[in-house]
Amino acid sequence: MVGGGSCFPKDVSALIHTADDYGYETQLLKAAVSVNQRQRLIAIEKLQQALKILKGKTVGLLGLTFKPDTDDLRDAPALDLIEQLHRLGTKIKAFDPLVSQTGMRHGLSNVMVETDAERLADGCDALVLVTDWKQFRTLDYDKMAKLMNNPVMIDGRNYLDQETLEKAGFRYIGIGR
């Protein structure tokens, strides 16, 4: 999940547009935008490899916001994941420390937003870490694994401790590892 700040895509698009106005070709900037968009969907590929068929499965998203300690959902990678998972017929659950508290639901009509991580895990076929919230390092992964249909963790930020998750019973899949 490549970041760059919530303004990155908007700023690069503005640069591309301005360069186009002056007749300059911006291949590197266009490539950066393309790579940034593709990175967001690697979690879908990992889910398909782990679960084979996503239709009818339940996937839980750990984190929704663009970055930790904010309630900013503008251009958040989670929104792209939600769109693709919904298109593939997946039931989507999510837990985010701020979004779950505030009741914000902008762009989340196809998502069951849970009030804690254990409720998120309950009945899921896989979890995807989307936002690297500090408290996600110390969740009760032993209990969460037992609540899941299939304890798979896609770590979209390579943030969690693989050994801890595997001891808890998860099949850990990092992105870029």
Quick check: is 7 catalytic?
yes
Taking the mean position of all CA atoms in its chain, how far away is CA 9? 17
> C-alpha distances in angstroms, 175 versus 22, 44, 46, 128, 129?
38, 11, 8, 11, 10
**E strand or H helix at 32, and its extent?**
helix 27-40
The active-site residue, picked from 3, 4, 5, 7, is: 7
Tokens of 84: 């693709």
d(CA 92, CA 95): 10
Active site residues: 7
